[in-house]
């Protein structure tokens, strides 16, 4: 299973370490017979690569922060305020996350293009959170609901203001759930192809994912593209993967019992 999981990743690594423009039509695909680091060296001196990394980091960071803040506030309101139908609101948020992109994508693209927002990083930064917030709110809401209430009752009795309760009582108890939602937001950005593929054509505001996607056809010289993946996204993905345990705990205690 581990071999299956790593197979395409290992293959990418090999391609990124090989010279030869025609390596996809000859040679051993599983071993870098003509080893080189030139693709990596090329990337490090390429200002375009730096910009792609910055764009990707900006899109990911903004999505992460916006999603976490908006989901936390919403989940807090739904769990602890007197609000009619808060349970139905939480559930419909979850269902709204489940609408397949095929249903929402075209109107979103048309709307953003009417507002002249396409071809900018902003288009992605405002679209991605809409994919992470509904599920994030739902996860945090179920998590908050399962926390023992005595902490909050004590804090309230001591005269803490609602946002102080959130800041000093709830958030310190919610580490795993917040990490799970954060990781989920990162996964939304990293797994997106559709929006970055259609909303942004301008290389100046592309993410790594869009750039790699647009190089897809260039099978003549795949080395640089795959070096880009290995250097640009693989470390972040690997780091994220080590949070799998936190992810499972965050979702686990909140959602699955």
Partner 1 sequence: MRRLPAAPQLPISRTPWPALLLLSPALFFVVVFVAFPLGLELWFSVSNAQVGELGDFVGLANFGYLVQQATYHDALVNTSVYTVVSIAVKAALGMALAFALVRPFRGRRFVYALIFLPFIFPTITGTMAWYYLFSNVHGAINYTLMASGLSRDGVDWLGSFGPLPMASLITVNVWHGVGLFTVLLLAGLRSIPNEVLDSAVVDGARSWQRFIHVILPLLRPAVALAIVLSIMGTFGDFAIIHILTNGGPANHTQTVQHMAFVVALRDGDLGVSAAIAFSLMPVYLLAIAYMLRTVVRQ
Task: State which of positions 141-180 bind partner 1 (CB under 8 A).
Answer: 142, 144-146, 149, 152-153, 156, 162, 165
Window 53-72: residues binding partner 1 (CB under 8 A):
66, 69-71
In the list 57, 58, 126, 179, the residue contacting partner 1 (rule: CB under 8 A) is: 126
Nearest one of 4, 27, 143 to 80, comparing CA atoms: 143
Window 208-237: residues binding partner 1 (CB under 8 A):
208-209, 212-213, 216, 219, 222, 226, 229, 233-234, 237
Shortest distance in whole angstroms from residue 70 CB to partner 1: 4
Shortest distance in whole angstroms from residue 1 CB to partner 1: 6
# residues near partner 1 by CB under 8 A:
106
In the list 53, 64, 93, 181, the residue contacting partner 1 (rule: CB under 8 A) is: 93
In the list 19, 119, 120, 198, the residue contacting partner 1 (rule: CB under 8 A) is: 198
End-to-end CA distance of the chain: give it in Å, rounded: 27
3-state secondary structure of 102: helix
| Share in percent of the chain as helix, strand, coil (round to 5) | 75, 0, 25
In the list 77, 125, 173, 231, the residue contacting partner 1 (rule: CB under 8 A) is: 77
Measured distance CA(175)–CA(200) in Å, rounded: 34
- Of the candidate spans 11-19, 37-45, 46-54, 117-125, the one that interacts with partner 1 by CB under 8 A turns out to be 11-19
- The torsion angles phi and psi of 19, rounded to 5 degrees, stand at -90, -175
Shortest distance in whole angstroms from residue 47 CB to partner 1: 22
Indicate whether 78 belongs to the interface with partner 1 (CB under 8 A).
Answer: yes
Nearest one of 108, 106, 135 to 124, comparing CA atoms: 108
In the list 65, 110, 154, 204, the residue contacting partner 1 (rule: CB under 8 A) is: 110
Sign of CA dihedral 207, 240, 227, 217: negative
Nearest one of 121, 116, 119, 117 to 55, comparing CA atoms: 121
Burial of 162 (0-12, 13-18, 19+ CB in 10 A): middle
């Amino acid at each position: 299973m581990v071999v299956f999981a790593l197979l395409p990743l290992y293959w990418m690594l090999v391609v990124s370490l090989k010279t030869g423009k025609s390596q996809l039509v000859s040679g051993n695909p599983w071993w870098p017979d003509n080893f080189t680091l030139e693709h990596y060296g090329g990337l490090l001196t390429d200002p375009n690569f730096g910009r792609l990394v910055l764009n990707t980091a900006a899109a990911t960071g903004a999505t992460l922060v916006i999603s976490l803040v908006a989901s936390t506030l919403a989940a807090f309101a739904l769990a602890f305020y007197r609000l009619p139908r808060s349970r139905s609101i939480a559930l419909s948020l979850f269902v709204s996350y489940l609408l397949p992109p095929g249903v929402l994508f075209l109107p979103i693209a048309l709307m953003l293009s009417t507002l002249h927002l396409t071809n900018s990083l902003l288009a992605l930064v405002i679209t991605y959170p809409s994919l992470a917030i509904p599920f994030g709110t739902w996860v945090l809401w179920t998590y908050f609901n399962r926390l023992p209430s005595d902490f909050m009752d004590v804090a309230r009795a001591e005269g803490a203001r609602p946002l102080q309760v959130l800041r000093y009582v709830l958030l310190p108890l919610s580490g795993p759930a917040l990490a799970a939602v954060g990781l989920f937001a990162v996964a939304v950005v990293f797994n997106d192809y559709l929006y970055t593929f259609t909303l942004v054509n301008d290389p100046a505001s592309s993410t790594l994912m869009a750039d790699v996607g647009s190089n897809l056809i260039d099978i003549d010289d795949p080395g640089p593209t795959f070096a880009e993946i290995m250097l640009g996204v693989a470390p972040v993905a690997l780091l994220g993967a080590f949070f799998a345990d936190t992810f499972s705990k965050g979702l686990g205690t909140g959602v699955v019992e």
